[in-house]
Every structure is written in C-alpha cells, then in structure tokens.
Structure 1
Amino acid sequence: MIVIERTTALSSVQDEGRFGALHYGVGTAGVMDPLALRLGNALLGNQPDDAVIEIPLFPFRMRFTRDCAFAISGGDSPAMLGERRIPAWWVAQAREGEVLTLHASRFSARSYLHLPGGVDVPQVLGSRSTQLRGEFGGFHGRGLQQGDSLSAARDAYRGAVDFGIASPRLSLCNSPDGVPQIRVLPAAEYGAFTAESVARFWQQQWRVSPQSNRYGYRLDGEGLVAKAPLEMRSHGIIPGVIQVTHSGQPIIQMRDAQPSGGYPKLGTVIDADMWLLGQVPVGSKVQFVEVNWAQADEAERDQQRWLAGICQRIDDYRRCPL
C-alpha cells in the first residue's frame, strides 16, 4: 500500500496506547496527540483507535503502491502529493505511484498519517502502538526506516474526499502571545517545595529543552527549591506527571514514560491538555495554569462534547457531501 522513502527512526506506528499493563512494567506508549488520532480517523471513517503513523521529524516522504485514500492530521503545515498541495487536517485520494511529502510546522511538533482501517500491524498486549524501549508492537517493534512497506487494514474507502477541518487549535487552544497555557493539578509532593519557587513555577514561561522526547519533556527555567532534602522510593507514575529532579528542573512524563520513578511529583497535566502539550515543538515555551479537580473534570467533559460534535459533522459530510 505504501513504501517509506524518507524518514527517521523516530517515526512509528501508534494508536491510543497500551493500557492495563503498568503492573507488568509496560508503559502506555500511544500517540502524543490523542486529539489528532480521533479527528484524523474520523475523516476517513475509521474506528477512533485505529493505528496511524506518527511523524515527529521532517521532511517525511512515502510512495503509494496502489490507489488509496488517506488523511493527515496533527501538523498545521500543508503536505505535497506529487505537485499538488494538500491542506492540513485533510482527507485526499492518492493514485498508484504518487509520492506524499509532509513538512515541518512552526506551531506543531508532529503530524499523523491515516490509512483506511488504520495501519495493518498485529496487536500486542491489546495495542498496535510501538513500544520503542521494549522493542515490541507497531512495525516489528521499531521506528520506521527507508524501504519499509506498510498496508492499510481496509482495502477501500467509501466516502467524500478533498475536504477537511480547521485545526483544533482555533477552538481549544489558549495561547496568549503564542505561548500555550497548559493546565496542571497539584500533585502529592506539591507542598514539599518553597512557596517562592512554587509561585515561580506558575508565573514563568518554561522552555522545552532539546533533551525532550516521547519519554519526557525536560523544562528549562529557574529551578524549583525543596523545603528540605527529599529522597523517595520509586513509585508508580503515568504520562502527564511533572517530577522535579535534584537540580530543581521539572520533567513531564510523556507517552513512553517508564511506569515508576523516584523524583517528587509537583503536579500532573490534565488529560484535556495532553494533546496540546504533545504538539509543543522542542525549543518552544509553555506556561502552566493551576486548576482543581472539578475544573479538570469540566475541561475533559467540554472537550469530549466538542469532539463528539465535530466527529458527527465530519461523518455527516463524509457520507453525504454537499
């Protein structure tokens, strides 16, 4: 169906993630931008969790070996299908032999390529996501390489093509001055840090360090100070948890995070903002906003209502184009 012509080993097959195996020491993996997964799959009439190719470095180039519909999501830069410009967040029809090239965006870190029925790879522990550290799942347990050939799980797509949606950033992203506002719940060791450094955590803008990846985002800024030396036994952690190293620099655990760690936990990024955090490019800045449990729950419900509404409108148009 497709052959990879240019990529890096950081491109991988992912779905929503691998859940229920943390007690075995197996992390969740999965897409860094779950909103893009849902919306791109909706554009093709796929199931919400169908596997996709996640692309974090560009340009990414692939060739279609047969006629095939596809969708792109996540990134906010247009793609090129041969000599034809394809908008972001779009579903299109490719012909056999055509080459699709995806380019980097100033505003987003990752793009996703969707195929009819999803990328056809076997499930491992209930997920098709690539677990890069454990070298299983996805496409042979590794990142994609030049020459890899992948297939769609469904032979054909029936529905409208050459249509798309506006970027979710226009509806859901709160980014004054272009700096994303990421909402955070205080966590267990929040009170272990001085009031001055905690206030600074909320007030300053943090830069996503070049030492950031799918395992974790290291943040550059004026570090936090503990009230007293703090040593902890390793304990369970999940994506979104913000830990503070001995140097005072925060690390946000991301999708490939290990299931346990011993650094104190300052806070946790709310589920509703993990998609936005996953799209922050390395070198960009973020600012954190404190919320309580009720506000986090309301944000999640609001986002799910928005998502259900736009997916329904996509489905209506895909079935009955104007």
Structure 2
Amino acid sequence: MKIGMIGIGDIAKKAYLPVLAQTKGIELHVCTRNEETLKEMAETYSIQHLYQNIDQWLASGITAAFVHSSTESHESIIDKLLDNGIHVYVDKPITYNLESSTRLMKKAESKGLLLMVGFNRRYAPPYMKLKELAEPNMIVMQKNRGHHAGEARQFVFDDFIHVIDTLLDLFPYPIEDIRVRGKQENGLLHHVVLQLESAQGTAIGIMNREAGTSEEKVEVMSATETRKVINVNEVISHIDKDSLTLGSDDWQPTLEKRGFHGVIATFLEAVTDGSVSPNHYQRDLQAHLIAEKIVETLG
C-alpha cells in the first residue's frame, strides 16, 4: 500500500517516520520543499520515493497521506488530497477555526474518505488504563508549560486541544454545560480552565503556560478508586490508603507509550479495511467545536 507524507518537521521526524519506516506492507512517499530534508530521509530511512512537487506526489498512486505541514497549510493540502480520493491523517488541529474544519470533515464524509486527527493520547496505554475505571465522578487534567504565553487561538487550537480531546475521551457522560475561564495580558493568553458538566460528574482541563515547568497529569476519580498518570507514564491506583502501580513497563518504547503506534495502526487499518465508525467524523470534530467556544468566550 502506497502511503504519503507531506511536511517533515519535528513531530514527523520524532514520532511518525520512526514508526512508519518500520511498518510492514507500506511503501512510503514523502513530499517536502526542503531538499536537505529529502536527502536526510533517503539516508536515514532509505526512502526511495521523494518529491518536492506536490502534484507529482499526488499523482504517485498513494492511497492515504499523513499531513505534518504547518497548520496554516492544512486546509489547501487536505482539499487536494480529498479531491484526489486520498484518505487523510492530519496533525491536530485540522485548521485554526471551526468553520473550515467542519467543511473539510463534511467533505471527507460525503466522499466516503477518512479524515482522522492525530489525537495520539486516546491510544496511549497509560490513558487507556484510566478508561477502565467505572463510573468516574471527576476527571482533572493539567498540561502545563513554562514561559509560553501565546495568542489565544493558537494556544487553544495548537496545544490545549489535546486536553480537550483527552477529557472527551475519558468522560463517559453527555455534556450538559461548558464553562471557560482564562487569564489574558497584553494580547497573550497565560492560562485557561475548561469545565465540562454532566449530571454524573465533572471534567476539568487546565493549561498554565506560566507554570515554570512542563508537566502533564491526569486524575480520574470514582467513589471506590482514584487513578493518576503523570507525564503519560505509569498508572498509579489509590484505593483507601493503599497505592499500586498498574501496567508500568520500563521497556515499552516511548512512542508506543505515548500512543503513536496505536493511532498510526488504527488509521492504516481503517484505510485497509475501508471501515469508518459512524460517529468518527463528529468525534474528531468535537474538540474543535469546544476549542472555538473557548476562543470566543475569552474574546
């Protein structure tokens, strides 16, 4: 199966090429305008099918493509891929606004093509352990950074959208209310707090970009147990005064632990099988809908 990749930045080099280069049964076709990057791909991964021209790349016979270019370029590239009948995997977000993201998702659905967003944390084994906890009554996720206050739309769509999607994935109840708070100074967003409410529980997402450090932690609580994950690593279970580490594996590769193996395999399997779940399009769009609400609320 011929698989394309366009845009070879840090995430492609660190997370996707190492996995795809070792995946059996695929022939990788890589497109980037940077000639030095093409040489690096040929030397590092022995990739033979390299392109600087997007039209030649589109005509190569690829069945599906991974889009790792700048977010600003996503819309035009995805349009071209869908127009050529090619399934798409795109780094989050689809675009920087809900309107264009919705248009592209509806276009993919109308053509019977997959448009999958790279929410790798859904497939991270430590976070999948959190989903085993029955009837959670509260979920709290923090994904903090130091000295990275930024423009609100980019802050929310580029980074906080991971928190939004992880909460949606872990929170099993219909959302009845959404509350948003944030701190802005001199045109920059410093922190944001999202609260999702249902009759059965609450999910809270926090990102502080002036926290002095980079840290990610998630707690899922129920009446009988609390489970915690720090920095997408092992799961710690707390029951009464006892604590137990669940599923810790120091030998598990980082890319597998962070969900990249799982999300890539899921996309390739869906392309091969031609199977798309009925709720896929709305599910991958939902985080964008809440991201847009956050930006509008913060003004």
* TM-score, scaled relative to structure 2: 0.26
Higher helix fraction: Structure 1 or Structure 2? 2
